[in-house]
Structure 1
């Protein structure tokens, strides 16, 4: 399964990298396959292990901010191997000649 999520500390101003640094550390140290971009982080794994990482990351942000907004999206695809990369590879097969960015 894949979980894509965004954590936003509220009440701390417009820039807040120091408020999410501990969350990023928790995500990276989880050992699960992850990918982050400007909008969210995606984690691949089993339900309980992924949700545990999301919970601990959220709690880390909450420890430094008066309020935290969590946006979460899940993709449950039984039988899909390596969904973090596999879904992209599947799509790329339908775009011959364009290559991977």
Structure 2
């Protein structure tokens, strides 16, 4: 499964980069395939392991922020692996075809 999520620290002022970096660090240390862009971090794995990483990332931010907002989107497809890069590769292949 793929989980795309965004964590926003609230009540800590305008600059939240350090707190967001704490969340991304948790994801990267998980060892699960992941990708971070300007809006979301996407991770791939089994339900329990992916949701555990999301919880740990939220907890890391909550240690320094009085409130945390989480947006989450899931693509649940049992038996599918390498969806994180495979989906993008298929689109890129279609674009290359013209």
SS state at 1:15 partner: coil
Unaligned runs of 5+ in 1: none
The RMSD of aligned alpha carbons is: 1.4
Question: CA 1:80/1:93 → structure 2, altered by over 3 Å: closer, same or farther?
Answer: farther
Deviations 1:21-66, CA, capped at 9 Å, x for gaps: 3222211100000000110100011100000000000011011001
Alpha-carbon contact 2:24-2:41 (below 8 Å) kept: no
Greater share of residues in helix:
2
Number of residues of Structure 1 aligned to a counterpart in Structure 2: 98
TM-score by length of 1: 0.89
SS state at 1:94 partner: helix
**How far apart in 1 are the matches of 2:72 and 2:44?**
13
